[in-house]
Structure 1
């Protein structure tokens, strides 16, 4: 039996079978391995909760309980208490969250980026309301690193992406973005990406450098291109009924642990991109890493208005409000 064939009842039995009262053991699933960014964040969250309460936090890294859609569903149904997931996978559920896939919207400067995530009205006021409508308590959003494109052929402009099948998350706006770039976006579950690159089902994929290194995507691609178009965003959520049913002291434990984990992961990311690229080049010296010039980025940057217009069409009833507030937040972060 695979995890995908488990019924809700049998899955509940599986995650509860390790012992401990349900109220005292909180279960937290995420999309990466323990030693990757989401895993480092989760371990800090666990450490803080367990140091400041009698509760235990049980961690479930990627693959333990299925793919990204599985763990989100399990959190909504209350089987899991916490889930760490990118808006890329919640875009169909919360269409406004697709705003994070408008290219060249987020700043490349780390300090501006971190200030935005700390102070954003969009993240701290609007998105919690949208997530609550889906039975989720949004605890925080945080960046994971500059998104880079890995391909089998070098890329210096949109013409180089003609007929290139780029794996994307199942997110309509990300599909639109890569179509605008000139590529053929191909939605594919993460568990199928390495094999898809080996067999030619896809020709490339995008992710932060640490993830390209840790998942060995460089083994099945030959070129990394830094388009400067985005930074990978992720979100920590709780089952809302679970969170709302907690006493205030437990809610504060969670909020404090979330803030401590946020601060920790921002510090952890200092220099992570360059360290990861060095590891990739050490493991595969023939791998090229190309940072496009501003002139080379210009035709990619020109697609932003097109993708933004699509976001306003498909981004849900509050799309305009989200986009306007996000731009105001980004302007504030730049000052």
Structure 2
């Protein structure tokens, strides 16, 4: 099946030329979701400033997230937009964005971090090269919220609860085990059915996704634990990128910068709008924000996951050490 998909995609891809080309860009969300907004802005910039064209493939068009990653690394796709949570299985260092209670929830700190972080702008691009990819951008989509059928305020409350997590991230599995739950790696396409049939007791996503896809209608409680943000990355096939002319490389970098600025403005609005729509359209739905004392217990459990990430490799340890420095600067300088 994967071979068939690859052949179909390969048949669609046109040869890159200096005068004009059609580039394929797949992303793991819908067109109106953050990754789709970024992709649309990227496409607009490319097409407004060159003869090149971008063909967009939204979530589900070309298989699952792992399929899109394989297709991009193989050169069957030119650009890939993907949640960092799906990438840990391929690029272990990307799990840093999933480690609980590392990333801040303050949007100004996040914006400063992604613009100025040494991890994002210097260390990860080199790591991506080893996997056949050119990193173009990493951006936040919204604070993670947990939706469940029953209210919880401690790891003890989550004991034995089956929590869906994104496949491909060992750290997500470790996180929910530390939080007392039973993690269930599962594709997005299987999540709705699993909630309807009781195969899982809950899941995590940004508020904008929870509202847009009706996950609030399938559960009873939304909880802000403060444990992290949902982040996405955009990358290009490295061989394709390296083969571009200087003019087209500059074009791609400027398009990524333009799209990054666009999504930083829009993602904050989407998250707030998502929560507002839930409150208006689903007034009986319970919204819970854990207190600082309640979060302290989860933060204590999260330390083992943080240590586990750092212990997996020297590269992970270096990423974690620099991440802490970058986040400290973001906290001091964000305005």
Between the two proteins, the alignment pairs up a number of residues equal to 328
Q: Distance in 1 between matches of 2:3 and 2:71?
A: 13
**Cα displacement (A) at 1:283:** 2.5
1:75 corresponds to 2:72: yes
Q: Which position in structure 2 is the counterpart of 1:243?
A: 241
Q: Distance in 2 between matches of 1:307 and 1:94?
A: 17
Q: Name the SS for the 2:320 alignment partner.
A: helix
Map 1:1-335; keep pairs closer than 5 Å.
6-13=4-11, 15-16=12-13, 22-23=16-17, 24-170=21-167, 171-314=169-312, 316-335=313-332
Consecutive unaligned residues in structure 2, runs of 5 or more: none
TM-score of the superposition, structure 2-length normalised? 0.95
Q: Distance in 1 between matches of 2:240 and 2:6?
A: 17
Consecutive unaligned residues in structure 1, runs of 5 or more: none
**Cα displacement (A) at 1:83:** 0.2
Q: Which has the larger displacement, 88-97 or 195-204? A: 88-97
Q: Map Cα deviations across residues 275-312 of structure 1 (whole Å, 9 max, x no partner).
A: 11121222322111111110111111112211111102
Are the equivalent residues in 1 in contact too, given 2:311–2:317 (CA < 8 A)? Answer: no
Q: Distance in 1 between matches of 2:6 and 2:276?
A: 43
Are the equivalent residues in 1 in contact too, given 2:142–2:268 (CA < 8 A)? Answer: no
Q: Distance in 2 between matches of 1:211 and 1:160?
A: 25
**Cα displacement (A) at 1:4:** 5.3
**Cα displacement (A) at 1:271:** 3.3
Q: Map Cα deviations across residues 88-121 of structure 1 (whole Å, 9 max, x no partner).
A: 2211211111111221111121111110011000
- Cα root mean square deviation, aligned: 1.4
Runs (4+) off by over 6 Å: none
Q: Distance in 2 between matches of 1:143 and 1:7?
A: 30
Q: Distance in 1 between matches of 2:215 and 2:56?
A: 25
Are the equivalent residues in 1 in contact too, given 2:141–2:268 (CA < 8 A)? Answer: no
Q: Name the SS for the 1:271 alignment partner.
A: helix
Q: Distance in 1 between matches of 2:113 and 2:68?
A: 28
Q: Map Cα deviations across residues 15-73 of structure 1 (whole Å, 9 max, x no partner).
A: 34xxx655400110001000011001110000001111110011000011111001111
